[in-house]
């Protein structure tokens, strides 16, 4: 794609505080994004609440704001700097949630700021479990039997419908699986559901059938405005489903996929990124493969860079 000459100043949102062992990948990706944009001649404005990052070094961006990552503070930066565009896909879940809030409360429209990397509908479709499930059904990609709950009564009804433990509970719009877990019995189910509803900013949890023991793979995918899609690399989790990706050892490229299985994941990834509508930049798509039958299920998609993106970058040089 040619360089966009209608954009001159771009606001990039960082990921905020970094927990040891988690989220440092966003400092890596955000720093690379700042450098790449400045090399292309764009003026870069950065807001991040964490001063102990490479991203906030004075030479990384043209203007750096070390301020709380709240919609109100980002709006103040927008008023002062008047950026043409906002890039939220380099700051993890924190930046995505902020971008959604700013788009929904009218700030971006008021100050004529374009959301680039991933538009609001794409973010919502990937992050909202119900919309994502519907999107996967439209393109014929398998998903896990599941249901969405916003109350404990709804959660109980879904558990009854699925019919057996263990059950996986995933809160919507959270980072690193916060508030979620695996319930092996009724007592654990109730505890984790309450925790997940509290952790989710939209009070929504996904309850799904357990895929414990299935093999877990990820594909890093990039797309541009001309609809060119490239698979950066495949990644295999050494641990099976049930161990969070952030706690697992991963290897790139995947080691135990047959060529036929890899092509199935590749074809599904291309269909997914096009259906969700991520226009520019990278996405992370996670799959589960039944080791006995070869059945493929898509677990989730992150319409942003993730910890796997840093690994993919190191492994491939891209």
Q: How many CA atoms lie within 13 Å of 297's alpha carbon, on the beta-carbon side?
A: 19
Q: What is the pLDDT of residue 32?
A: 85
* The residue to which tokens 């896990």 are assigned: 144
Architecture of domain 9-116: 3-Layer(aba) Sandwich (3.40)
What is the dotted CATH code of the domain comprising 146-209? 3.30.1490.20
- Start-end ranges of CATH 3.30.1490.20 in the chain? 146-209
Residues in the chain, overall count? 318
Q: 248 phi and psi, to 5 degrees?
A: -100, 160
How far is 270 from 266, CA to CA, in rounded Å? 6
pLDDT tens track, the chain, 318 positions: 577 888 999 999 988 876 665 566 677 778 888 898 999 999 999 998 888 787 788 888 899 999 999 999 999 999 999 999 999 888 878 888 899 999 999 999 999 999 988 888 888 888 887 888 899 999 999 988 888 899 999 999 999 988 888 998 989 877 666 888 889 999 999 999 999 999 888 889 989 888 888 999 999 998 888 888 999 889 898 888 877 766 778 888 888 988 889 999 999 999 999 998 887 777 889 999 988 888 899 988 888 777 677 677 777 776
- Start-end ranges of CATH 3.30.470.20 in the chain? 125-142+212-316
Q: What is the pLDDT of residue 18?
A: 66
What is the dotted CATH code of the domain comprising 125-142+212-316? 3.30.470.20
- Start-end ranges of CATH 3.40.50.20 in the chain? 9-116
Q: What is the pLDDT of residue 258?
A: 87
The pTM (predicted TM-score) of the whole model is 0.76
How far is 46 from 24, CA to CA, in rounded Å? 16
Q: What is the pLDDT of residue 212?
A: 84
Q: What is the pLDDT of residue 177?
A: 67
Q: Which two tokens stand for residue 206?
A: 């996904």
């Amino acid at each position: 794609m040619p360089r966009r000459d209608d954009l001159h100043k771009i606001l990039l949102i960082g990921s905020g505080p970094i927990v040891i062992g988690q989220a440092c990948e966003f400092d890596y990706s955000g720093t690379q994004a700042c450098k790449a944009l400045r090399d292309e001649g764009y003026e870069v404005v950065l807001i991040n609440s964490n001063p102990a990052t490479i991203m906030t070094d004075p030479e990384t961006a043209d203007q750096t704001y070390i301020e709380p990552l709240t919609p109100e503070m980002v709006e103040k930066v927008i008023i002062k700097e008047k950026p043409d565009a906002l890039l939220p896909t380099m700051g993890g879940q924190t930046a995505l949630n902020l971008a959604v809030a700013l788009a929904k409360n009218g700030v971006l429209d008021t100050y004529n700021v374009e959301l680039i990397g991933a538009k609001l509908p794409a973010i919502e479709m990937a992050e909202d479990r119900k919309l994502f499930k519907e999107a996967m059904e439209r393109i014929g990609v398998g998903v896990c039997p599941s249901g969405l709950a916003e109350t404990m009564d709804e959660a109980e009804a879904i558990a009854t419908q699925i019919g057996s433990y263990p059950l996986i509970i995933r809160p919507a719009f959270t980072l690193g699986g916060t508030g979620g877990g695996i319930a092996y019995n009724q007592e654990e189910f109730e505890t984790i559901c309450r925790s997940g509803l509290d952790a989710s900013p939209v009070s929504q949890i996904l309850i799904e059938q357990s895929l414990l023991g299935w093999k877990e793979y990820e594909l890093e995918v990039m797309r541009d405005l001309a609809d060119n899609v490239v698979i950066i690399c495949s990644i295999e989790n050494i641990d099976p489903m049930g161990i969070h990706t952030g706690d697992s050892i991963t290897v790139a490229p995947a080691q135990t996929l047959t060529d036929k299985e890899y092509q199935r994941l590749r074809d599904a990834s291309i269909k997914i990124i096009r259906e969700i509508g991520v226009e520019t930049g990278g996405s992370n798509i996670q799959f589960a493969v039944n080791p006995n039958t070869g059945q493929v299920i898509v677990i989730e998609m992150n319409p942003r860079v993730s910890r796997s993106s840093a690994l993919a970058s190191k492994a491939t040089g891209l």
